[in-house]
Chains A and B, each alone.
Chain A
Amino acid sequence: MPDRKRIAGDLGLAALVVVAMSVAHGVYSNELLLFNFVMFLTLSQGLNLIYGFTGYLPFGYVGFFGAGAYGFALAVMHLHSPPLLALAIAGLAALVLAVILAPLLRLSGAYFAIASLAAAQALYEVIANPDLQDLTKGPYGVSLSGVFAPRLSYFVAVAIMAVTFALVVWLRNSRFGLSLQAIREDPVSAAMAGVSVVRGRMVAWLLSSVIAGLSGGVFAWHISVFYPDTVFDVTFSIFATVFTLFGGATTLTGPLLGVFFLYGVYNAIGITVPQYFQLIYGALIMGLVLFLPNGLVSLLTRRGFRVP
């Protein structure tokens, strides 16, 4: 029986961030900066689902994001779908891609990470192929100005973030989440204890991909003009990974800390003095890997505190 107090605490933290990001929209007018925060909060938690709970680190996570962005764009351009339906198609596009790429789960460690990156690159090359210009607009980019609605798309992004947080809280406090962590620690022992390793990994993989696909879709909706390079930019993968690792995976708090601190630093100094930013960013990450390999939250967890 899960501890209701713990769940309430986890949900309370999630709700606090959701409310803060909703209220911030009315207070701070750089909507796109807030949107990027929401997007990275969602992406980091999406990556947390697969990396934090199963140990699979997909460097090519951006592939699902790009698939979602183009799923949204194709639905709007060719099916004239309303944005919310197009968003569902974005999630579906990422889900289909995840099913196609499911055999990659047979790999592990660096092999899986690199294979997923190669898959994302292959998808980018297909979408950016000039011969597919009639379908995807090839490398020349898409314009979705007809459905451009920054305010609505912002709040839809917040809703997706809320659902993602709820998923992480569920995994943190459910038997299924525990079974995933058991798989991460020792798949053979987990299988011998009756845990369905394949099913568990597959569910986490699909959930994680759908979150990235929905994020890609709502990103496409929010910016409305983009090129394949924009939505398949590996920076999305790198940022989501670094934010998750920095704060601490397998927790709700870790990726939140990572995004608010590192993306905050990025926007505070990365824009005005990018050279110093890279130096500081590099030093921070090196220090973390050397002294806090389990992220900032490990400062508390190794002293016996439970972190949401």
Chain B
Amino acid sequence: MFRRALLGLAALLPLGIGVARAAPPAPAELKIGTLYASSGPFASISMPVYDALKIWINEKNAEGGVFVKPYNKKIPIKLISYDDQSSTATAATLYNQLITQDKVDLLIADSGSVLTSVAVPIAKEHKMFLFDVSGTGGTFFTKDNPYIGLMADPVSTIWPKYIADFLDDIGVKNGIKKVAILYSTNDFTGTQAAAVRGFIKKAGKLDIVYDQGVPTSTSNYTVLLNNIAAHNPDAVLELGYVGNDIAFLRNLQDSGDKFRFVFTIYGGTEMDELLKNVGAAAMQGTFSYVPAALYDYKPNFGPTLEQFRAAWDKAYPKGSGVEWGANAVYGYMTGLVLERTLATTASMDQMAIHNAVFGLSGKLNTLDGPFALNAEGAQVGEITPLGQLQMQGKDLKLVAVYPPKFAKGKADLGK
């Protein structure tokens, strides 16, 4: 009798285990919520991210959906998105809308620090993990907030390390002594200015002869360039947003001033956009960061840069008005992090999502380079090599020149 009961129990055991381990009922679709800015000052950095994210979603849906481990199956993605028109007040309401009304499963912030800033406390309040694409504001990442992870941009303090190292190393050897820093007073560029100032002062090899912050709305640099020229610097670092860099480079070309080292953030980061608005002649010889959009990293997950570029060109052919650049890579890369997160998370609980994202840290390499987060969720894995825009034949190319292990060419500092 006892034996029969035991056998019966043994027969039921796999079934029981099967019941206990059965995946919860899968939803018909996975809701991903995000915002974008089709107009206003942040449209130029927001739309490429949004457009690239849509490419990733279309790819996954074409494959039947994205694999979600807790349900052990592929689930189609439904993108719920709203246009915040670059307004933080509108964005705040819409983030709330996504969380409380649309009840999205995953929340992705709009591009840049300003439009991400309002999402940080809202996500924390609702215990919703925020996939922060490129909001690098230092105040976002705190020990008491586990509901945020920075995907694609390194924190602003890391960006200018190689500019300072280059000037202190190669620059000093080539006679560069005096540096001018001109920056737009916003979170992103202001933090970079503070960081590069700190690096240069710490090394003590260069003299900062001009250090000026100007409003981000500045669109004419003529007087500022005259002021800079009066201090006779060898190197000029202009740290601004796309619009600032366009105006600065145009005014620099018109002024006829020559400096041995001129740096802008978006000369390389959004090269196509600047080429269209400024032209190759004004950009030639200037320095910039080498973004992932122009540097072929070796990914261990997802497509190579070349493969993604082909997908991008197919989705947004020339003349469609959508420009290729670093932000396109950031958007797609965010999709890749989502994909790996969903494939590894223990459940769809937001802390489990947090654990899955942080579990990728140090292990994931995408077309955007290494992905690594610090304890507070700030991105510290990505690197920003220094490049110079050099003519190669008839084309202007951004050539990585520093640090040596990433260099693909030699810097020309002129005389």
Which of B183-191, B291-299, B362-370 contacts its partner?
A: B183-191
Q: A36-B93, A223-B121, A271-B82 are in contact. Are A141 and B139 (CB under 8 A)?
A: yes
Q: B92, A223: Cβ atoms under 8 Å?
A: yes
Residue pairs across A and B with Cβ atoms less than 8 A apart, 12 shown, are A32-B92, A125-B215, A130-B190, A139-B187, A140-B190, A140-B191, A148-B124, A225-B118, A227-B88, A227-B187, A267-B93, A271-B93
Q: Which of A224, A227, A267, A274 lies in contact with B85, CB distance below 8 A? A: A274
Q: A140, B187: Cβ atoms under 8 Å?
A: yes
Taking the complex as formed, is A173 at the interface, i.e. its CB lies under 8 A from any CB of chain B? no
- Report the count of interface residues on B (CB-CB < 8 A): 38
Q: What is the 8 Å Cβ interface bit string for chain A, positions 16-59, against chain B (1 contact, 0 not)? A: 00000000000001111100100000000000000000000000
Q: Which of B82, B101, B125, B215 lies in contact with A148, CB distance below 8 A? A: B125
The CA-CA distance from A272 to B145 in the complex, in Å, is 31
Residues of A within 8 A of B87 (CB): 233, 235
Interface residues of A in 94-145 (CB under 8 A from B): 125, 128, 130, 138-143, 145
Q: A145, B142: Cβ atoms under 8 Å?
A: yes
| Chain B, Cβ-Cβ closest to A150 | B125
Q: What is the 8 Å Cβ interface bit string for chain A, positions 135-173, against chain B (1 contact, 0 not)? A: 000111111010010100000000000000000000000
Taking the complex as formed, is A226 at the interface, i.e. its CB lies under 8 A from any CB of chain B? yes
Q: A30, B93: Cβ atoms under 8 Å?
A: yes
Residues of B within 8 A of A233 (CB): 87-89
Q: B93, A225: Cβ atoms under 8 Å?
A: no
Q: Which of B85, B88, B94, B95 lies in contact with A226, CB distance below 8 A? A: B88
Residues of B within 8 A of A33 (CB): 93, 96-97
The CA-CA distance from A125 to B216 in the complex, in Å, is 12
Taking the complex as formed, is B386 at the interface, i.e. its CB lies under 8 A from any CB of chain A? no
Q: Quick one: which of B95, B121, B145 has the most chain A CB within 10 A?
A: B121
The CA-CA distance from A282 to B185 in the complex, in Å, is 33
Q: A225-B120, A226-B88 are in contact. Are A271 and B94 (CB under 8 A)?
A: yes
The CA-CA distance from A138 to B139 in the complex, in Å, is 14
The CA-CA distance from A139 to B95 in the complex, in Å, is 23
Q: B122, A32: Cβ atoms under 8 Å?
A: yes
Taking the complex as formed, is A230 at the interface, i.e. its CB lies under 8 A from any CB of chain B? yes
| Shortest Cβ distance from residue A38 to the other chain B in the assembled complex, whole angstroms | 13
A sample of 4 more A-B contacts (CB under 8 A), given A32-B122, A141-B139, A230-B118, is A125-B215, A140-B186, A145-B144, A225-B118
Taking the complex as formed, is B146 at the interface, i.e. its CB lies under 8 A from any CB of chain A? no
Residues of A within 8 A of B114 (CB): 227, 229
Residues of B within 8 A of A143 (CB): 139
Taking the complex as formed, is B331 at the interface, i.e. its CB lies under 8 A from any CB of chain A? no
Residues of A within 8 A of B125 (CB): 148, 150
Residues of B within 8 A of A36 (CB): 89, 93
Q: A271, B90: Cβ atoms under 8 Å?
A: yes
Interface residues of B in 64-107 (CB under 8 A from A): 82-83, 85, 87-90, 92-97, 100-101
Residues of A within 8 A of B121 (CB): 145, 148, 223-225
Q: A31-B96, A32-B92, A130-B213 are in contact. Are A138 and B122 (CB under 8 A)?
A: no
The CA-CA distance from A223 to B87 in the complex, in Å, is 14
| Shortest Cβ distance from residue A54 to the other chain B in the assembled complex, whole angstroms | 28
Residues of A within 8 A of B233 (CB): none
Residues of B within 8 A of A145 (CB): 121, 124, 142, 144-145
| Chain B, Cβ-Cβ closest to A273 | B83
Q: A225, B117: Cβ atoms under 8 Å?
A: yes
Q: What is the 8 Å Cβ interface bit string for chain A, positions 203-230, against chain B (1 contact, 0 not)? A: 0000000000000000000011111011
Q: A30, B190: Cβ atoms under 8 Å?
A: no
